[in-house]
Structure 1
């Protein structure tokens, strides 16, 4: 049944319905725009009584195990699943929203989105109960309340709302009684505090990804190797590399007890840099790379020496069976001798996740999966043409896609502890 804006319908009355899934879909007209769905568990005062009642990718589960949020890889974009019997009596309704991430900051609004819909599905049978298509009457708004599930005479009903909000997610949170952190200028906050709050959000997304890939209990040492050849100059100077380091630091914080990310840079020479933590992430690239005169910069590619130094650090200087997860950022021109290094390193507790950025053909890296002569497959390659346009959820999902298989294979070969 297709719903019209403002229509209210029965959900549980006359049905044997215990679990409900709400599937969200949309089309973003530009790849740089990130759209997110969320749910607000509200009291009879129409407000979230606790921060934990705001369910989204950064907080995917409520405290009662009644509501969960998941990202989807094909078809529908996201789903919020509800176990109706687990909802406490204090939950009078659940409001569902769709927002553009930092829409005002980047100049995006709902006119840049199309084909917005919400499907209500019986989670146990797969039967689609209702479909609500909305948003055609919106333009400059950056957030939408798509609809709400609410109690009525002991049953649950759904209200198809489709109303827009200016101010994005922050405006919605305020509307539902959640306190939003003040801006740095309003609260006289330090830059460090602002950066930490961003990393905290990313750590939640990483944790969600680890849970999805069954890596919750895996400990790992994490390092990042950054290409600093001539073709990377623009990405260093426009802040892209700083942003990459910040995003990868969140992975290190969840994998490693000391919450630090080991860092290397290389062109035809290499440098091992001080590890970065949450406390010194701000301006790390400027302070430790761009303004560091001892680092050779913007030369040509030569990967084997820096890879050998990575191996030396983790297998000689700091020998351990705890696995190592290396994220290797490169924008093309990788030399063929890396194959020999990777093959020889396949007996070591190191997994190499290569990330190609830009428009190079990455001929060498594309053949990692078919490389012969290794004890285990210890390397993977993903290509992200514009890494800045890739959402955190997608980035972490792709980065951690093959690591679980390597963990299993390396444990079977006794390269790492089970």
Structure 2
């Protein structure tokens, strides 16, 4: 299940790459348990063994997220995303997409360079004083552009984290509907004490070619949530989407 990963240079803006699926080995000790737990959740979700998929992580950098950056919750989610990538991705890297009122340069989190990457990127962009608003659509467009530029033939699983509704709700709805034609599944993860009603709306959004999104609420203390529960929430609808996407011609049969 685990694969050989490419050694990467220090974190820099992510470059487009084709998914070539080498076997994965050499997983860091700190990620082995996460990778195994993620694999179990993927199996439970009906994801075919050996499926290749690009894993993306989108993180809300709005002002209300400052506590989750400070307490390590966002870095923890990045580690968990790498656990998924060990099972699905070609080289064990996860493009990290930070957003608030603007998009930020995408960087790769890799198996050999992941500890502290979220904090480093957050500080690089000015830390808490520069945290802005919440606009989902700009982050979604950044993911779609990166995916298309990669030339990937395999689908993508996007872990999209936020703690509140966006200021560009109409644009986000339109973006998700248009993206339903693409081989990209959006797994929305909510942080915070209350569920995000807007994410529930996206999960039920009409007018899509195929249901290309799910929503899981991780609560106000996501660091205390068992990894298995988080992974079940992220992957729960991914297997069904793969089947439906093939039936609709979004993915090859």
TM-score with structure 1 setting the length: 0.51
Higher helix share: 2
2:97 to 264, 267, 270: 264
The residue correspondences of 1:158-237 to structure 2 (distance < 5 A) are 196-215=28-47, 216-237=49-70
Could you list the per-position Cα deviations for residues 88-114 of structure 1 after superposition, in whole angstroms to 9, with x for gaps in the alignment?
xxxxxxxxxxxxxxxxxxxxxxxxxxx
Higher relative contact order (CA 8 A, sep 6+): 2
Preserved contact between residue 321 and residue 415 of structure 1 (Cα < 8 Å): no
For the aligned residue pairs, the C-alpha RMSD in angstroms reads 1.9
Q: CA deviation at 1:321?
A: 3.3
- Which consecutive aligned stretches of 4+ in structure 1 deviate over 3 angstroms post-superposition? 291-297
Q: Distance in 1 between matches of 2:212 and 2:252?
A: 16
Matched, 1:251 2:122: no
1:223–1:263 CA distance, 2 compared to 1 (3 A): same
Q: CA deviation at 1:333?
A: 2.5
Q: Distance in 2 between matches of 1:208 and 1:372?
A: 31
Preserved contact between residue 332 and residue 360 of structure 1 (Cα < 8 Å): no
The more displaced of 400-409 and 279-288 is 279-288
Q: Which has the larger radius of gyration?
A: 1
1:231–1:294 CA distance, 2 compared to 1 (3 A): closer
The residue correspondences of 1:19-418 to structure 2 (distance < 5 A) are 196-215=28-47, 216-293=49-126, 297-315=130-148, 317-335=149-167, 336-337=169-170, 338-385=172-219, 386-418=221-253
Q: Distance in 2 between matches of 1:345 and 1:328?
A: 14
- Give 3-state SS (helix, strand or coil) of 2:96's partner: strand
Q: CA deviation at 1:272?
A: 3.0
1:370–1:292 CA distance, 2 compared to 1 (3 A): closer
Preserved contact between residue 229 and residue 299 of structure 1 (Cα < 8 Å): yes
Note the residue ranges of structure 2 that are not aligned, 5 or more in a row: 1-26
Q: CA deviation at 1:320?
A: 3.0
Preserved contact between residue 322 and residue 417 of structure 1 (Cα < 8 Å): no
Preserved contact between residue 82 and residue 93 of structure 2 (Cα < 8 Å): yes
Higher strand share: 1
Note the residue ranges of structure 1 that are not aligned, 5 or more in a row: 1-194
Q: CA deviation at 1:293?
A: 4.3
TM-score with structure 2 setting the length: 0.83
Q: CA deviation at 1:269?
A: 0.7
1:297–1:380 CA distance, 2 compared to 1 (3 A): farther
Preserved contact between residue 66 and residue 128 of structure 2 (Cα < 8 Å): no
Preserved contact between residue 224 and residue 263 of structure 1 (Cα < 8 Å): yes
Q: CA deviation at 1:355?
A: 0.6
Which residue in 2 is equivalent to 1:139? none
Could you list the per-position Cα deviations for residues 347-400 of structure 1 after superposition, in whole angstroms to 9, with x for gaps in the alignment?
001100101110244121111232111100001111111211210111111110
Q: Distance in 2 between matches of 1:329 and 1:417?
A: 28
- Give 3-state SS (helix, strand or coil) of 2:158's partner: strand
Q: CA deviation at 1:201?
A: 1.3
